Amino acid sequence: MKKMEIQRRKTKKIYIGSVPIGGDAPLTVQSMTKTRTSDADATISQINDLYQSGCQIVRVGVSDHASAAVLKRIVKASPLPIVADIHFSYRLALAALEAGVHGVRINPGNIGSKENIRKIVQAALARGVPIRIGVNAGSLEKDLLEKYGRPTPEALVESALREVRTLEDLGFYDIEISVKASSVLETVEANRLLASRTEYPLHLGVTEAGSGLAGIIKSAVGIGTLLIEGIGDTIRVSLTGDPVEEVTVAREILKSLGLLKEGINIISCPTCARCQVDLLSIVQEFSERTRDVKSLLDVAIMGCVVNGPGEAREAEMGVALGRTNGLFFQKGEEKGRIPLAKLLDLLVEEVRKADREKQLAETHKT
């Protein structure tokens, strides 16, 4: 029986460097550096860390001329497409485009006059660089705040579509849009409204989500709700802390919904009195030993005699663990009862074998 799949909303396709966004392109994961951009060495180092973690597009803040001055070096050294995040100064946007960035993000609430936007558009058109219209609840235009009383979902969408019209009037259509709030409910509703009124690709995120578990939960609920509804083309999890964690969480959100076709999706039980092994240690060791696996594989590691065999049978491969041995399953078939001391090594070996086979099959396709 075929697994359920999310039916994604059809959108226009744009490119950030060589990475496609929207249309029939896979969902992508973005993050943002948290170094001072003017410190080129630190920024490049963090970009490399993000690349290794699976990030596909990276945004850098360009808040002063010192940052703009080193952008060309950063772009040249980066393994990822660079998006310049611009506020207040159209001149910094022009400098970023001159430096060779692959995308520009502007906020209509603070970039200035339409003439300033025209200058950005002309430079972006000349270089074939897309523009992301980024609307945040914390920096909405004054007239919209007066009209709606606060940054409501309707206000965020009106702001975004106002800017879309400005760009379209200037003959610019390589547009990506984001509407974000720190409220999960308002972020979800704003994106629903926007998705019903435009075919441009949408960048999803819950802004200022916070740190640790609270930030992860807000992001997973907000982004996940929209993705389930087929809304969204690229995502960024905004957490206070290491941006690599943002990428890790974003990839797990996509994997949980079957929207990321790589890496291992581990199915493991929460444990209870029936569990007779240290399941947490086993799962952690398995995760470490298979971190470099590229193929999408569902792997069940279960310590429960009630649900264990069933979950392991449904996964591509899995184990149901007892006190001294466990059942090993592969593609729905029970392969035997294996001593516990050998079972993890066997599981890792078979996962790596399946990964090699899938990678080889993909190579032959191309």
Residues 191 and 66 in one domain: yes
Flag whether 8 is in a domain: no
Q: Domain of 341?
A: 264-365
What does the pLDDT look like over 304-324, one tens digit per residue? Answer: 767 777 887 888 888 888 888
What does the pLDDT look like over 61-77, one tens digit per residue? Answer: 998 999 999 999 999 99
> How far is 285 from 329, CA to CA, in rounded Å?
19
What does the pLDDT look like over 12-35, one tens digit per residue? Answer: 999 999 999 999 999 999 999 999
Flag whether 7 is in a domain: no
Residues 182 and 317 in one domain: no
The residues near 94 (Cβ < 8 Å, ≥ 6 apart) are 119, 120, 123
Flag whether 3 is in a domain: no
Domain end, chosen from 236, 256, 276, is at 256
Is 304 labelled a binding residue? yes
pLDDT of residue 365: 66
Burial class (CB in 10 A: 0-12, 13-18, 19+), 33: buried
Residues 34 and 128 in one domain: yes
Give me the CATH number covering residue 190.
3.20.20.20
Checking if the pLDDT of 328 tops 90, the result is no
Please provide residue 142's backbone torsions phi and psi, each rounded to the nearest 5 degrees: -60, -40
Pairing of strands 14-16, 82-86: unpaired
Domains of the chain: total: 2
Is 311 labelled a binding residue? yes
CA-to-CA dists, residue 182 to 90, 208, 248, 282, angstroms: 26, 5, 20, 37
Residues 49 and 127 in one domain: yes
* Among 132, 124, 135, CA closest to 157: 135
Please provide residue 31's backbone torsions phi and psi, each rounded to the nearest 5 degrees: -150, -175
Residues 47 and 192 in one domain: yes
**More confident position, 273 or 171:** 171
The residues near 113 (Cβ < 8 Å, ≥ 6 apart) are none
Residues 273 and 247 in one domain: no
Checking if the pLDDT of 366 tops 60, the result is no
Residues 207 and 294 in one domain: no
What does the pLDDT look like over 283-300, one tens digit per residue? Answer: 898 888 888 888 888 888
Checking if the pLDDT of 221 tops 80, the result is yes
Token pair listed for 7: 């039916």
What does pTM read for this prediction? 0.85
Calculate ∠ Cα 131-102-196, nearest 5°.
35
Residues 295 and 193 in one domain: no
Q: Are the beta carbons of 161 and 108 closer than 8 angstroms?
A: no
Q: How many CB atoms sit inside 10 A of residue 67's CB?
A: 23
Maximum separation of any 2 CA atoms in the chain, in Å:
73
> How far is 90 from 316, CA to CA, in rounded Å?
52
Residues 203 and 329 in one domain: no
Residues 166 and 282 in one domain: no
Domain end, chosen from 237, 256, 275, is at 256
Q: How many CB atoms sit inside 10 A of residue 207's CB?
A: 20
Is 272 labelled a binding residue? yes
Edge to edge, the sheet with strand 103-106 lists 175-180, 131-136, 103-106, 82-86, 57-61, 28-32, 234-235, 203-204
